[in-house]
Amino acid sequence: MMDDFEIVTSDDPAVSRILTEARTAEDAGRTDDAIAMYRKAGDAGCTDATVHLAMMLMDSSDNGRKEAVALLRKACEAGNASAARRVTPQLRGTSATVMR
């Protein structure tokens, strides 16, 4: 589980169910299932889930890091303050430093 990330919640009951499934999968070590569920919640408009997904992907691989930065930018553009704190665009927007 993400040690430094706040609990992801949603006012939408359907998204809340997805987030419950995601947390259960993550707590059980079923990372692939958790990633799929956080992605689904993010696609449903929960930008906190998108940020959590990005943080899970950050250390997975080079491709995971690239996707994580793209997800953080997307959440940031949607107004998510947590994403804005975690990604700082660098020179001409070509790279980013992720803050944990």
pTM: 0.79
Indicate if the pLDDT at residue 98 is higher than 80: no
**pLDDT tens-place string over residues 53-96:** 999 998 888 888 899 999 999 999 999 988 888 876 422 344 55
Note down the domain range covering 25: 13-98
Helices (runs of H) and strands (runs of E) counted in the chain: 5, 2
What CATH number is associated with residue 82? 1.25.40
Is 18 domain-assigned? yes
Q: Give, for 76, the enclosing helix (H) or strand (E).
A: helix 62-77
Count up the domains in the chain and report the number.
1
Q: Assign 7 a pLDDT band (cuts: 50, 70, 90).
A: low
Q: Please check whether residue 46 is in contact with residue 10, taking contact to mean a CB–CB distance below 8 angstroms.
A: yes
Please report whether residue 3 resides in a domain.
Answer: no
- Look at residue 37 and tell me if it is in a domain: yes
